Amino acid sequence: MKVVSDKFFLLLVFLFGTMYAFAGNAGGPPAPSPTGKKPPPPPGLPIDENIMILVVIALLFGMYIIYKHSVKRKDLNLD
């Protein structure tokens, strides 16, 4: 019985998630500024400029987690 209820709730979450994905603004893009000036960009760095740095950091962090997990496993096997 528990498996059926888990599948049911998973289906509901999936359906509501897709409903919110399609429930966007139907008005289209916002109207241009009457002064003709572009709005300032949002704060922070654009992700496109530093994507390689982010990939390297992600790989290093992944290697650290794998190494940390393997050291824990070796400690458990010594008992």
Q: Is residue 76 predicted with pLDDT exceeding 90?
A: no
Give dist(CA 39, CA 75) in Å, integer: 57
Confidence of residue 64 (pLDDT cuts 50, 70, 90): very high
Mind listing the pLDDT tens digit for each residue in 29-48? 667 777 777 777 667 756 67
Percent of the chain with pLDDT over 90: 14
| Domains of the chain by residue range | 46-79
Least Cα distance to 62 among 70, 73, 50, 72 occurs for 70
Residue 59, pLDDT above cutoff 90: yes
pLDDT (tens digit per residue) in 14-28:
877 776 666 555 666
